[in-house]
Amino acid sequence: MDRHSYGTDRWKIICGGLEGAAGNAVKMLYAGISQEVPYILTAQRAGEGQELSGASLAVVGTPVDNALLASLPQAADIPEDGYLVQVTASPFDPGRQMAVIAGSSPVQALYAASHFLNEYLPDARQNSEHHPYFLPLFSRTMPEYRAVRCPAFAERGIWTWGHCIYDYRRFAQNMAGLGLNAVTIWNDYVPLNLREVVDCFHSYGIRVYFGYSWGWDEEFDISSEREFQRVLDTALSTYETGYSHAGGDGIYFQSFTETEEESIGGVPIAETVVDWVNKVGGAMLERWPGLDIRFGLHATSVKNRMDVIAGVDPRISIHWEDCGAFPYAYFSRAAEGEAETLDFTDRMASLRPSGEYGVVLKGQVCLDWTMFENQKGPFVMGCESAAAIRARREELRPHWHDVQGYWLKNLGQYRRTLEHLPGAAVYALVEDALLEDACWYPVALYAAALWETGQTDGELLCSVARRPDTVLA
């Protein structure tokens, strides 16, 4: 017998799959609703003899894994590669409500759960009266609602260093909550726990690319056949011994293009790097056919030799950096030169119609290179203490405060740049940023703009700021 009753006005979750991204969607939704209600939330698998009357329903999953969702007319409204969030009267009990939180795939269901918690609930909480300012959730009739979302870009990612991921589980969770689905992780040495890190990211629908050097950040004679052979051998052996069995989705490399000069020791960079990339990449593809290889190319040294860069093996995707003003620039305040930047973006985007391409945008918090030390050996990734993370947060807050102001000012320039990147894989350089601790406002803005929202700049600024998971510095 109950010692206390919270009444019969309750919600319960009807879910589909519980593995991988589908399971993480259920967990995210369960945690979000649970913090708003005083009772122990009920959750049931669809088809397990659940009672559909007597409670309001949150139906989460896909039409494939959730039989109840498949039977609803809303299933026909779920877009391909997108999601639907809809709150209506329950068809099973006229006195109750039903929230459909559905995706075309398990990861899209995860994005739908995030949308319900972070975009719908802030609106549902609002009161038309001054007091109380906010209304309680799930204990009254919730506002009717409908949102259909699809990504504007198929690949939406973060580029970072492995040693700057302090809690890989929370990092992956926050990425997924922001609708991001790919991460490039650069390491000097392979983490001991890399496979479990990869498995965790995959459980949130996030592809993992391993970043390492093919001659980047080294001084050597780029015309030397001996040096080329060394880089070739290192590229092959590093992947063979460190990454080939770690379950990742591909590799990302940089070479010797990060300079303002067009030559090194009188040797042209563009011609030489294309030759090196094609030979090393060809050797890797011969050994590992179908390997997804991304070439991180700094535009600063090759921007006047685009005809040469067009000769990169079409099996290798070029991911461009340093293409001009914000959002390519390291500083979010560096917005001058937009016209020239967009002109180069058009040239870059149309350079290789037969080859995939991507960009690594910047303007976020970066590493402090005055304090940087390269790794000295293998390490354990993303297992820092909560206390260490809290301390780091306060160190970074002033940096985010500065960056945040310029994202408010220059959001329009970022969105205009995206219009010139059809079909690109879009990444943001988010280095020492503590994404696992907080969805900082500039990162959240970056992510939200990669989806088809139909919002003006002002509307996007407002909706992202109001997300409960967004942190303003």
Domain 156-471 belongs in CATH node 3.40.50.1820: no
Tell me: the pLDDT tens digits for 59-97?
999 999 999 999 999 999 999 999 999 999 999 999 999
Supply angle C-alpha 155, 158, 164, rounded to 5.
160
- HEC assignment per residue over 354-389: CCCEEEEECCCCCCCCCCCCCCCCCCCCCECCHHHH
Phi then psi for 59, rounded to 5 degrees?
-100, 115
Structural contact between residues 168 and 200, judged by C-beta atoms closer than 8 angstroms:
yes
Mean pLDDT over residues 204-210, rounded? 98
Pairing of strands 470-471, 357-361: unpaired
Tell me: the pLDDT tens digits for 88-113?
999 999 999 999 999 999 999 999 99
Return the domain boundaries, the chain.
11-151, 156-471
Half-sphere exposure of residue 406: CA atoms within 13 angstroms, side-chain side: 20
Mean pLDDT over the full length of the chain: 95
Task: Find, among 403, 406, 455, 454, the residue nearest to 431 by Cα.
Answer: 403
Q: Map residue 338 onto helix, strand or coil.
A: helix
DSSP state for residue 135 in the 8-state scheme: P
DSSP state for residue 242 in the 8-state scheme: I
Tell me: the pLDDT tens digits for 238-260?
999 999 999 999 999 999 999 99
Share of the chain above pLDDT 90, in %: 89
The alpha carbons of the chain give a radius of gyration, in whole angstroms, of 24
- CATH architecture of the domain covering 11-151: 2-Layer Sandwich (3.30)
Tell me: the pLDDT tens digits for 283-315?
999 999 999 999 999 999 999 999 999 999 999
Structural contact between residues 69 and 62, judged by C-beta atoms closer than 8 angstroms:
yes
Phi then psi for 42, rounded to 5 degrees?
-90, 135
pLDDT of 1 higher than 70: no
Tell me: the pLDDT tens digits for 389-415?
999 998 899 999 999 999 999 999 999
